[in-house]
Structures are given as C-alpha cells and as structure tokens.
Amino acid sequence: MQQRCRTHRAAVERAGSRAGLDPLLLLAIAWVESGFNAEAESHAGAIGLMQLIPVTSARMGCQDPSEPECAAQAAAAYMKRLLRQFDGQLVYALCAYHAGPVRPLRAFRAGQMPGNVGYAERVLEARARLERFGCQGR
C-alpha cells in the first residue's frame, strides 16, 4: 500500500489543492476508500482510487473514474460540493461522500450524528497518520 500511496500522492494532492481542500484529507479518503488501489471495485458499484460511483464521477466532470488523475479531480469537486451542502461540517460531508448525501443530510438537519460516523473517524485518523508519517502510514 505504501508504494501505491507514493504512486498516486502527487495527483491526489494536486486535485485537493486546486479545489481549495486540504490535500491530505483527499489522500486520506483514497487510503480509506481503496487502499490507494486505482483498480478497486466495490460491491456497490464504486470504482477506482477514490471509489466514486460512475454517475457521481460523470457529474463531477470525470468520465473515467478508474483513471487516478480524473478520479482525484472528481472526488475533490464532489467533496467541495458536500462541504458547501453541509455548511463546512467535515464529518457530515465525509459521511455523505461514503454513503450518499440523503441520510447524512437528514441527520444534519436533525442535529444528530450520521449512522456511518465511523467512516469519517477512519478518514480523519488516516489524515493524521499521513500528516505525521507520510505514505509510511504506520
């Protein structure tokens, strides 16, 4: 996984910077979503490094989410959109990235934590590890 992280790090961090996002946050999403595997496919139909559903990827301007640079740009655009939708509340935006925005939005409006908050915690932990150790991750 460390080699895959090093392989994709520049593209993911570039996409984050271009979108005005924390580049390490986007890299942490790639870590949690796919283990930096650009060929990953989920049972739910998400594909690529950033594990985007093809429809979401296309809406964010990427027709080929299996291509890492394209996927990173789409994921950054999507995360930026989610952060706006959730008034900058990172945990809700991360939960929406993982499960789609419907349930996290209901929880947000009700002042409750989303049911998949563990996902957001894993991403934030991965981000802290990346900040401290880089692609070594420890």
Tens place of pLDDT for every residue, the chain, 138 residues? 899 999 999 999 999 999 999 999 999 999 999 999 999 999 999 999 999 999 999 999 999 999 999 999 999 999 999 999 999 999 999 999 999 988 898 898 898 988 899 999 999 999 999 999 999 865
Q: Please tell me the predicted confidence (pLDDT) of residue 137.
A: 64
Task: Specify the amino acid at residue 54.
Answer: P
- How high is the pLDDT of residue 1? 86
User: What SS3 class is residue 41?
Assistant: strand
Q: Give CA 54 to chain center in angstroms.
A: 14
pLDDT at res. 138: 59
Q: Of 33, 39, 69, 121, which is the active-site residue?
A: 33
Contacts of 68 (CB under 8 A, 6+ apart): 8, 11, 12, 38, 48, 49
CA 117 centroid distance within chain: 14
With 0.75 as the threshold, say if the pTM is over it.
yes
Is 33 a catalytic site residue? yes
- pLDDT for res 136: 85
Can you tell me which residue has the tokens 């394209």? 70
